[in-house]
Structure formats: structure tokens, C-alpha cells
Amino acid sequence: MPWSPERKRVLLTVEQKFQIVSRIEADLNFNSKLGGSKEFQASSGCLEKFKNRLGIHQLSTVGEKLSSDIEAGNSFIAELQDLIVKEKLTADQIYNCDETETGLYWRALPTKILTAEAVALGRKKMKDRVTILGCANASGSHRIKLTLVEKSKKSRCFKNIKKTALPVHYMHQESAWMNSSLFSE
């Protein structure tokens, strides 16, 4: 059901409201990307007022706000550069190893929703996760096979498969986190 000023007083379902907002957002983006007609005078403010009038909000459903320690990062960079110069290391000798930042929550739901409610309904965050670890040298000439850390020692999905046949190093840990003992292996 397209929105028009004549239809302003019609009672709309929540689903119809969301369809209208999505359509307007798409029109705003599409028109500006294509350098569209100047007759189309909608703005972000127009869209926001329309959303407010219909009581539609975008809310975060889960998550925490964290800040990075920028000073510690900068001091580490300086120390690393000094070490590289002192030890006369080449790009082939320097490795970067990083796990996915918070693990891969493969059953996680989106963290933002459009809702006609003022408050997002709470829900339990899915904790089914795996951790993926990648490692390579700075020149890119040596890449180590990915490491997958899961909770189960042998998942049901790998019932008839040998761990050595997998294209990753398969490891297990109770919470599916990479720890020092797994890293040493």
C-alpha cells in the first residue's frame, strides 16, 4: 500500500507502516545515488518525522558499549617497530595471528530491529559459537591453515569424518574460546 498525503488518515497495520518506511528509505537512497530529479525534495529529516509520526523506531536488542585503549595500542605499535628494527626482521619472519573478535555466533539473530514499540523486547543471546583463528606472515607467502575451536570434542556433524581430513585444524574447548594451551598445540 503506497503512502500518499491523501491516505494520511487511513489506519495502517504495523506491517504496512514498515513497508512504507522501507520504500521511502529506498527512494531517498536510490534518487541521490542516481543524481535523480530535483523535484523529489524528501530529506532525512522528512523521513525521521514520518517515522516519529507513525511511532517506528530502530532499536538495539543486545550488546554492550566498549571502548578501545588507544594509548596502549599506540605504545605497542612503537615497541613492535623498535623490535623489528633491533632484530632486523623481514616481512617473511613477522606473523600476524588473530581470532575472530568475539567468535562466530553462527545462530545469532540481528541486533537491531524496526518496531512500533518504544522499547525493544528482551531476549536471551544465543551462545552457540565457534572461534576461528587465522595466521599468516606479513609478506603473505606463508598462510597457516585456519583453526576452528568448538565446544564439542567431536560434533555430530563430523560423526563419520576424521579430524585430519578437515580443511581446518579442529580443536575443542569447553567455551569454544582460544586459550594458551590450545594455541601452544
Q: What is the pLDDT of residues 53-74, one digit of tens each?
A: 777 766 655 554 445 677 878 8
Domain coverage including residue 164 = 95-112+125-184
CA 89 to chain centre: 34
Choose from 93-97, 150-154, 156-160 the range with maximum mean pLDDT. 93-97
In-domain check, residue 85 = no
Same domain (yes/no): 107, 35: no
**Residue 170 covered by a domain:** yes
Domain count, the chain: 2
Residue 169 lies in a domain: yes
Q: Tell me: do 99 and 159 sit in the same domain.
A: yes
Per the structure block, which three cell numbers stand in for 100? 575472530
Residues 160 and 99 in one domain: yes
pTM of the model: 0.48
